[in-house]
Amino acid sequence: MPILIRGGVVVNHDHSRQADVLIDGETILAIGPKLSAPAGTEIIDADGCFVLPGGIDPHTHLEMPFMGTVSADDFESGTRAALSGGTTMVVDFCLPAPGQSLLAAYQEWRHKSEKAVADHSFHMAITWWDKQVFDEMDTVVKTYGINTFKHFLAYKGALMVNDDELFHSFSRCAGLGALPLVHAENGDIVFRLQQHYIDQGITGPEGHAYSRPPEVEGEATNRAIMIADMAGSQLYVVHTSCRDSHEAIARARAAGKRVYGEPLIQHLVLDDSEYQNKDWDYAARRVMSPPFRNKSHQDSLWAGLASGSLQVVATDHCAFTAEQKRMGLGDFRKIPNGTGGLEDRMPVLWTAGVKTGRLTKEEFVAVTSTNIARILNIYPRKGAIAVGSDADLTIWDPAATKTIQAKTQLSRVEYNVFEGYECTGLPIVTLSRGRIAWKDKQIQLQKGDGAFIQRDPFPAAAVANATWKELSKPRPVSRIEVTP
Ligand code: DUC
Ligand code: ZN
Ligand code: ZN
Ligand code: ZN
């Protein structure tokens, strides 16, 4: 049955206008004033509301084995939470254990994601390096439709890769038309600082924040940018949490490098006072990497979103129960790192960003959906309200209010880092590929209704090498081809 969304203001990243939206099957058929609908069309009234492209969260960790446990939200509970907050697609991480085949890890993650209620895609993590990884990356891109590879510069002894591995992998990404992602914290220094604070008798959650200062993030961001540039690759820096990292990204962009930065909703509104003079459980539930920062960093992140030097807002949703967090009692190094946010990202960003005047509603659409779709190469299938695009959209009531409470959330954990936050602006009805996914405060889709979305490689023209552009004599080849 076709659906007509009538009477709303359609908001895209570049303009807004009063228009109806007619949906047939999975896609948008027409957009315009006073559309007429065939007999039998379901009419949804959007009077007084905005009609926004469904949110895309480019950074989640559902059912992820990590730090001796597994994150508590799986692809079912996580994508239900996402849909309730206006997010119609998540991009999660397929995480091969060091030494594990990328192809085997992909099969494992696809099995987990069969439960997804919403559309989803993966980034593939590079946690080790040799010829097998080099070869398998080709299949990951060309057969599996995964065009992004994640690299951890932290988690020494577990997921961390060194500069040699980074250079090889970035170079391989450039050759395949893929985009490398980086978790930018200097893992060697974090390891030393952790030991230092433990030796000083600081064993509680505040030690986690002390051992990961903004400098470790600024250093690693600068390093990854320079290595990507030498490898002729673009770069996406996940969870940009501080001024130090943002400035490195802005500087790189001003020099013509294709570098992207992703603040998290948590870092935009919560700060490191959450770790000070709080009981152990309260503070441990807020332990994530990078940690919450001094409030003075938030203005820089907001300015980046407004000016475009930072492009997207994510959650890094990686939820652990109170019991799981207690694995770190007596040693902050053992507190599983991660917080939730999937269902709160859009309402909190609207409240803290649009309602305050920091972002326009069009910028809100850009950073929650359109820019992400473009950077991940799924635009305009996703990220736009346009004829022919997937009918992923949310009817957004700017006057609706709610107070965030763990007891009403869909995430499986029993607390929420935004507890008590008063949101104004909420998704009332959300559609996923033309099907009603959220209405009357209920999820209307089932386990397994989400599709795995393949993403094509980037055109070769997107691969940059600013370093070589500066040479007076062009090199004989345009890019280093590093082999294992
Ligand atoms: N940071 C977290 O807090 N959790 C998951 C992984 C990460 O990098
Ligand atoms: Zn299966
Ligand atoms: Zn990370
Ligand atoms: Zn992450």
- Tell me the pLDDT tens digit for each residue of 44-62: 999 999 999 999 999 999 9
Please indicate, yes or no, if residue 432 is contained in any of the structural domains. Answer: yes
Mutate to test the pocket of ligand 1, among 93, 182, 208, 337 (most ligand atoms within 8 A of CB): 337
Of 115-124, 154-163, 463-472, the poorest mean pLDDT is in 463-472
Ligand nearest to the CA of 69: 1
Residues having CB closer than 6 A to ligand 1 are 61, 183, 288-289, 316, 318, 337-338
Please indicate, yes or no, if residue 428 is contained in any of the structural domains. Answer: yes
Residue with CA closest to ligand 1 atom 5? 338
Show the domain range for 81. 52-442+450-461
Q: Return the closest-CA partner of residue 395 out of 58, 47, 43.
A: 47
Mutate to test the pocket of ligand 1, among 318, 320, 327 (most ligand atoms within 8 A of CB): 318
Residues 201 and 229 sit within 8 Å (Cβ to Cβ): no
For 310-325, what is each residue's pLDDT tens digit?
999 999 999 999 999 9
Residues 310 and 240 sit within 8 Å (Cβ to Cβ): yes
Residue with CA closest to ligand 1 atom 7? 289
Please indicate, yes or no, if residue 46 is contained in any of the structural domains. Answer: no
Average pLDDT, integer, range 434-439: 98
Please indicate, yes or no, if residue 188 is contained in any of the structural domains. Answer: yes
For 80-108, what is each residue's pLDDT tens digit?
999 999 999 999 999 999 999 999 999 99
Please indicate, yes or no, if residue 301 is contained in any of the structural domains. Answer: yes
Q: Which residues surround ligand 3, an ion (CB under 5 A)?
A: 183
Please indicate, yes or no, if residue 69 is contained in any of the structural domains. Answer: yes
Per-residue pLDDT at 477 exceeds 50:
no
Q: Is the peptide bond before 98 cis (omega within 30 degrees of 0)?
A: no
Q: Return the closest-CA partner of residue 147 out of 381, 376, 369, 374.
A: 376
Please indicate, yes or no, if residue 238 is contained in any of the structural domains. Answer: yes
pLDDT number for residue 278: 86
Please indicate, yes or no, if residue 22 is contained in any of the structural domains. Answer: no
* 357 CB-contact burial (10 Å; exposed 0-12 / middle 13-18 / buried 19+): exposed
Q: What is the DSSP letter of 20?
A: E
Percent of the chain with pLDDT over 90: 92
Per-residue pLDDT at 272 exceeds 50:
yes
Helix, strand, or coil (residue 271): coil
Per-residue pLDDT at 470 exceeds 90:
no
Counted domains in the chain: 1
Which tops the pLDDT comparison, 458 or 197? Answer: 197
Which tops the pLDDT comparison, 480 or 387? Answer: 387
Q: 164 CA to middle of ligand 1, Å?
A: 23
State the CATH number of the domain containing residue 144. Answer: 3.20.20.140
pLDDT number for residue 480: 60
- Average pLDDT score over the chain: 95
